[in-house]
Structures are given as structure tokens and as C-alpha cells.
Amino acid sequence: MTTEAVIDLAYTTMSTAFWITLPILGISMAIGIMVAIFQAATQIQEASLNFVPKLIGIGVAVVLFGGWILDRLMGFTTTLITSTTLVGR
């Protein structure tokens, strides 16, 4: 396996990790910002008020994007397994 192949595999790994986590982290961050604005406006500082909506949002994101995430992971795994056959060469 050449140096270029290892670098390409590392790039593919990082890119896949980024795209897989993006929908879940994006929704979680958006909900967190909305809850923070609500807490600042109403001066309610309850910890569960921040946790529960994020948990629900992450659950919805997994249901909505789960198939797409699984498809990306299966494609990456196929690429990874195919690349391991080149290690001995």
C-alpha cells in the first residue's frame, strides 16, 4: 500500500465521519441555540430544559437520517474492505 493510498484512506475516513455526524450535531446545535435564546429571554435556568429537547431532536434526526447514514457507512466499509486487499501488495 503506497503512501498516497494511506493518505486517501485517511481523507475518506475523516470525510465520512464528518458527513455522518453532521445531521445529528447540526440539529442538536440548532436546538441548543433555540433553547438558550428561550432561556435567556425568560430567565429560566433549568438544566433539563436544555437536555430533553436535544434528546428528542437527536432521536428524530436518527430516524430521519438513519438510512442515509447507514448507506454512507456501508459504502465506506465496502471501500475499506476492498482497500485491505491491497495491503499485501
pLDDT tens-digit readout, 8-21: 889 999 999 999 99
Residue 75 domain-assigned (yes or no): yes
Residue 89 domain-assigned (yes or no): no
Q: What digits encode the pLDDT tens for the residues 29-62?
A: 999 999 999 988 988 888 788 899 999 999 999 9
How far apart CA 52 and CA 39 sit, in angstroms, is: 14
H or E element: which one contains 55?
A: helix 47-84
Q: For residues 69 and 46, which has the higher predicted lDDT (pLDDT)?
A: 69
Q: Which domain holds residue 19?
A: 3-84
Longest CA span, the chain: 64
pLDDT at 21: 95
Is residue 63 very low, low, confident or very high in pLDDT (cuts 50, 70, 90)? very high
Residue 15 domain-assigned (yes or no): yes
How far apart CA 8 and CA 59 sit, in angstroms, is: 33
Q: Which residues contact 10 (CB under 8 A, 6 or more apart)?
A: none
Phi, psi angle pair for 53, to nearest 5°: -65, -35
Residue 41 domain-assigned (yes or no): yes
